[in-house]
Amino acid sequence: MSPRSALPVRVFAVAAGAAAIMLAGGAAAGADEPPKGLVHANADNACRLNVRAGSEVTSANLTTLSCDNYTTCAHADAKDPCGPFVVGGKYSCVGPKGAQVNDNRWAEVLYRAPQRAYVAIACGAVRV
């Protein structure tokens, strides 16, 4: 094999090696981060959870999640797969245990990244 014909093989091998190193490094960096949750509506709240453009009930409604469709939480911390929460406008809904909830905690979600979007977290359910 001539040195010229071996060049594509060498370039491929170097590129593949670099990609493997980047993947291994990325996995190690993400291993310490808690997993981000998936938020959706709960059945006690009629399977409806609004995704809003801001953390106020008067903010534009971007979409309404059901019990079957999800959006990803923008953040996660050690205590909550959707936290830390944003303190915003007060809202009221039927919570996961069927009780009336009054709260002002909102979770930022990745509905239309990079645009910010929020859900009234006490009205929804989160799974990891």
Q: What's the pLDDT score for residue 3?
A: 55
Q: What is the pLDDT of residues 37-56, one digit of tens each?
A: 999 999 998 999 999 999 99
What is the spatial order of strands in the sheet that 100-112 belongs to? 61-65, 49-52, 115-120, 100-112, 86-94
Q: What's the pLDDT score for residue 91?
A: 97
Give the pLDDT band (50/70/90) at residue 1.
Answer: low
Q: Which residue, chain included where needed, has tokens 């923008």?
A: 74
Residue 67 has what DSSP assignment? Answer: S
- Max CA separation in the chain (angstroms): 77
Q: What is the pLDDT of residues 84-102, one digit of tens each?
A: 999 999 999 998 778 899 9
Residue 60 has what DSSP assignment? Answer: P
